[in-house]
Amino acid sequence: MSVPAPADDHIVLPQRPVRAPPSPFPLMAALAPVIVSVLIWLVTRSPFALIFAALGPVIAIASVLDSRWSTGRRLKKDLTAHARKMNHIADLIESRLDTERAERKAAQPSARVLLDATDPAGNARFSRWRASGALRSRVVLGTGTLPSELRLEGAVDSDDTLALRQKARHVTGVPVPVDATRGLGVVGPPTLARACARGILLQLCNAMPPDTAAVRVDGDGWDWASVLPHTQTESAEVTIQVRDLTSSLLDERNASESDRGPHAGDTAILLVVADAIDSVPTSCGVVLEISSIGTALLHRLAPDVPSGSRTGTPRTQSIDVELVTSAECGQYARSLAELAQRRGVMHAPADLPGTVSFREAHESATTKQIRGAGAGTSLLAVIGLGASGPATVDIVRDGPHAIVGGTTGSGKSELLATWVASVALQHSTDEVNFLLVDFKGGSAFAPLQSLPHVVGVLTDLDEVAATRALASLSAEVRYRERMLSELGCRDIAEARGAFPRLVIVVDEFAAMLDGFSELSALFVDIAARGRSLGMHLILCTQRPVGVMKDSLLANCGLRLSLRVHDRSDSVAVVGTDAAAQLQPDQPGRLILASGGVVSRVQVATVTQPEIDQITHSTPVTVPVRRPWLDPLPSRIALEDLEPADGIRLGLADLPGMQRQDTAVWRPEVDGSVLVVGTARSGKTTLLDVVTAEVTTARSGHAPWTFVRVGTDDEETWDVVTGLAARLRTGLDPGQRTLLLIDDLDSIFARMDDEYGTKLRDAVVEILRDGPRLSLWSMLTAQRLTGSLGALSGFAGALLVLRVANRQEHLMTGGESATWVANRGPGNATWRGATVQIALPGNSVDSDGDSLGRVPRRSRHGRNTTAPHYDFHAHAITLVVCPFPQRRTELLLAGNPEAMERGKLRVASLDGAARLSVADLALDLPGPVVLIGDSEDWQAQWALFSALRQSADLVLEGCSVSEYRALTKRRELPPLLAVPGHAWHLPPGGRPMRVRLD
């Protein structure tokens, strides 16, 4: 196409400056001074006159040198000015070529320019259907190099001017137009050839209105063209014939007619797509041979060569071609169809029926429409009726994933039920399985649960089951990758039925993400890798805008939208606002966007009897594999657990790995454990399990030494403080020791501040320094509050049983994702996994309430922490107690014959006057017991001080302050937590705990 050049399209090239010829030697100027000097000498006979004779040659030579120097300077200046002019002309040429390039692109826009200049609503910046004459059939095949309209004048006197002329001779990157009436052939790989041919057809339809041009397409892969208004034109002035010779649908008749071109008498344009240049009919005068993505060779016969002849020598040119997708062309075709309706050059399509039955839709589907439905490379489904017949979707071919939009009451649930039932009707359980996720109560998928293809229905009513199943999907991805790797296949199509495809159908995708926000990344991953793994997503939502990430939308090639409220939601799903224009009184009416084609469909309705019929008619040869395991049992026997290297605790649920493994505590690796749980949640049972494990000899394991406390405060005090003291002196590093403490928070609560602080410090010391000497601990508590909260930082692991609420779970240190309401006894979170604590011995055969009810010793029962104090074995015993008279009576009641035999002398200081040692008659035989309260002994301080050197001191029911006031010691005596226990301080010894009764 010739583009008129601007008025100042010629440029005059300047002449290159040359050096001026050199000036002749000034001989006369050199001789004149010599002659004059000789004459003066003849007259004056002065030798000085001859000196002037030398001035002539000197001046002449200087004049010659000056002339040459001036000429060089002038030449250099001229060359500099010339270079500036040449640079300016070079910039001017580049600017003129840019202007010419822009004018050519504007005069003949390519398909890419047309597409980029059209917004999603179909508004275009270029005029449509206004081309006239020969311009209607001119199309741009790509961009290349063509002769320029720019003219340069002036002689070629240097390499610079020659380079400028060559630069101005051609303009690069301009549209390469051809006359389509000569016949166009596009040759290359089918995918690339079709992508290029789509742009050619799009340009022709943009130039000619549907009442002038009719489009006829023969071949597969051109479904988007059916939306063009030109395809509905019965007869027109121009017929555009598209023949795809690479398509399997082109029958022998079309192939045989391809060499003859359009019918005689028609003004026709032939556009042929072929995979070999020899297949292009001779009626095509222009052949575009695509060599690679974006590049092609353009072969043109001379215009005077008659059509149907290949005798002429074609001109060949390399150009850059544009490739457009069917989706882009489909959207542009829709905008042309809407423009045709507004201008009245195309009738609106016939209206759809208000209701369609499932049987009616499938009976009207032809064999051709559902061909390949049973193959492993297709999951074709008949979802309803469209304007041209049954509406089918294939998530394998058109997907691999689908998005369904639609507001409440628009018919999403009915669409999903029909879709699933249609696939199940044509495929066995060995070919496809369904996982249905409904986060609006579960009623939408209730009719489908009987289908053998359905591996599960997950609802928001069972949050725990939904969490486990959805977490198992990541494991399903890895399982399928492993299966393909073992089979040596790249994708599921090559596996040929080794495992079925899995279609995950989610109703209310936004609601699911609200409850499980962490699943967003999982679904993005499935969307990216699902095609090869045979995992497909059908995601439904009311508002796709802002809910689905771009990375997820990019992999969803199949788009369906029922009625939506906002235009933006419709455009986001199907690329047009047609779904926002659907009427509320038409439930089940949807807009289907697939393969670049947008169409209206009335969804078919499937009934429960039809679903039941599919269920009964589907043979199940092999049990359907569910991608997640059953929940953990509520009761597990310790002996039923698999052997493990460590201390077995129970059974761990690992849905993300599709496994349930033995939960193991390895103190050397995990460190000490802090166990938190409410009453009867299984804390004590857990300690029973650990006790059973460490006391059971298993070959290949070093023995354990363990200490279990918690039911007796005094025993707990002695053990914990004793172990802490031994840590300072050093334990046997070769002996592995476990310290088990039950209800540590209750123990702290029963102690006063001083004992509680020291016990906490001892526990911290054991947690911190114990592992260094092979000492580990398992501590249980109901809550981590107060001083107990500081211990969590020293424990290596945390095991959380049932706690009061989510806030308590988080304060304990658990993660929000591991919170489970209404945990049963023994159900816990251990190292991020849900664990069911095992039952030792015969506990598993008892009733369900027994878990966490292990019998304990009474805290006030007799124990071995306090030996009985024998008053007869000590010569003098000083007793300090709050009730001296009562203690005296008890002591005498316990020794009825003491006074008679004179073996035990008991005296009370209550109300006694000041006494001395002499008053006591200590020289008499028999042990002496002096009893008084703290005030009595303070009053008898002289007597107390004198006797204390050799007497045993017993303090019963005294406070630590009273102990320190009487003994003058700052140390903390042993804990007293049982009535009848007292401190015994022998002369010069350390305090110890004794039992008086």
pLDDT digits 0-9 by tens, 116-146? 876 555 455 556 776 666 677 889 999 998 8
Give the pLDDT of residue 768.
92
Q: Are strands 992-995 and 928-932 parallel, antiparallel or unpaired?
A: unpaired
Does 882 fall in a domain? yes
Instruction: List pLDDT tens digits, range 456-490.
Output: 888 776 777 777 777 788 888 888 888 889 888 88
411: annotated binding-site residue?
A: yes
Residue with the larger pLDDT of the pair 920 and 419: 419
**262: pLDDT strictly greater than 80:** no
683: annotated binding-site residue?
A: no
Kind plus residue range of the DSSP H or E element containing 357: strand 356-357
Confidence of residue 24 (pLDDT cuts 50, 70, 90): confident
Tokens standing for 622? 């092999």
412: annotated binding-site residue?
A: yes
Mean pLDDT calculated for residue range 152-181:
81
Tokens standing for 890? 């008890």
Q: Which of 617, 651, 676 is the last residue of a domain?
A: 617
Give the pLDDT of residue 671.
93
Mean pLDDT calculated for residue range 421-438:
91
* 94 and 114, same domain (yes or no): no
Kind plus residue range of the DSSP H or E element containing 432: strand 432-438
CATH number at residue 135: 3.40.50
Instruction: List pLDDT tens digits, range 699-720.
Output: 445 678 889 998 889 999 999 9
Specify the range with the lowest mean pLDDT, choosing from 285-294, 358-367, 423-432, 579-588. Answer: 358-367
Name the DSSP letter for residue 953: E
Confidence of residue 7 (pLDDT cuts 50, 70, 90): very low
Look at the block and give the residue holding tokens 């199907």. 574
* 808 and 661, same domain (yes or no): yes
968: annotated binding-site residue?
A: no
**184: pLDDT strictly greater than 70:** yes
Q: Which of 43, 75, 103 is the last residue of a domain?
A: 103
**726: pLDDT strictly greater than 70:** yes
Mean pLDDT calculated for residue range 766-787:
88
Does 864 fall in a domain? no
Closest CA to 434 of 471, 399, 464, 395: 395
Give the pLDDT of residue 372.
46
Does 891 fall in a domain? yes
**Residue 821: what residue type?**
A
408: annotated binding-site residue?
A: yes
Confidence of residue 546 (pLDDT cuts 50, 70, 90): confident
Does 855 fall in a domain? no
Specify the range with the lowest mean pLDDT, choosing from 471-480, 776-785, 906-915, 972-981. Answer: 906-915
**540: pLDDT strictly greater than 80:** yes
Does 328 fall in a domain? yes
Count each helix (H run) and each strand (E run) in the chain, helices first. 28, 37
* 83 and 118, same domain (yes or no): no
CATH number at residue 787: 3.40.50.300
Residue with the larger pLDDT of the pair 227 and 747: 747
* 412 and 442, same domain (yes or no): yes
Residue with the larger pLDDT of the pair 26 and 527: 527
* 403 and 339, same domain (yes or no): no
Are 689 and 851 in contact, with CB atoms under 8 Å apart? no
* 683 and 576, same domain (yes or no): no
* 813 and 922, same domain (yes or no): no
442: annotated binding-site residue?
A: no
Confidence of residue 733 (pLDDT cuts 50, 70, 90): low
Give the pLDDT of residue 3.
42
894: annotated binding-site residue?
A: no
Does 631 fall in a domain? no
**520: pLDDT strictly greater than 60:** yes
Give the pLDDT of residue 551.
82
Tokens standing for 873? 């074995």
Give the pLDDT of residue 433.
92
C-alpha–C-alpha distance, residues 224 and 222, integer Å: 5
**799: pLDDT strictly greater than 90:** yes
Tokens standing for 817? 């994702």
Q: Are strands 736-741 and 833-837 parallel, antiparallel or unpaired?
A: unpaired
CA 245 vs. chain centroid, Å, equals 43
Give the pLDDT of residue 96.
86
10 Å CB burial of residue 541 (0-12, 13-18, 19+) is buried
**741: pLDDT strictly greater than 90:** yes
**233: pLDDT strictly greater than 80:** no
* 886 and 767, same domain (yes or no): no
Q: How many domains does the chain have?
A: 5
C-alpha–C-alpha distance, residues 556 and 399, integer Å: 6
**248: pLDDT strictly greater than 60:** no
Give the pLDDT of residue 249.
46
Mean pLDDT calculated for residue range 670-687:
92
Does 1 fall in a domain? no
Instruction: List pLDDT tens digits, range 139-152.
Output: 999 999 888 888 87
Name the DSSP letter for residue 839: B
C-alpha–C-alpha distance, residues 32 and 839, integer Å: 138
Q: What is the largest CA-CA distance in the chain?
A: 186
Q: Is 773 helix (H, G, I), strand (E, B) or coil?
A: helix
* 488 and 398, same domain (yes or no): yes
* 114 and 43, same domain (yes or no): no
Q: What is the mean pLDDT of the chain?
A: 81
530: annotated binding-site residue?
A: no
Mean pLDDT calculated for residue range 686-698:
85
Give the pLDDT of residue 911.
67
C-alpha–C-alpha distance, residues 904 and 881, integer Å: 19
Domain boundaries, position 944: 871-995
Give the pLDDT of residue 290.
92
Give the pLDDT of residue 68.
76
Does 69 fall in a domain? yes
Instruction: List pLDDT tens digits, range 284-327.
Output: 989 999 988 889 999 987 665 555 555 555 688 899 999 999 88
Give the pLDDT of residue 188.
93
Specify the range with the lowest mean pLDDT, choosing from 48-52, 904-908, 936-940. Answer: 48-52
Give the pLDDT of residue 698.
58
Q: Which of 786, 815, 850 is the last residue of a domain?
A: 850
* 785 and 665, same domain (yes or no): yes
* 988 and 884, same domain (yes or no): yes
Specify the range with the lowest mean pLDDT, choosing from 20-29, 196-205, 233-242, 733-742. Answer: 20-29
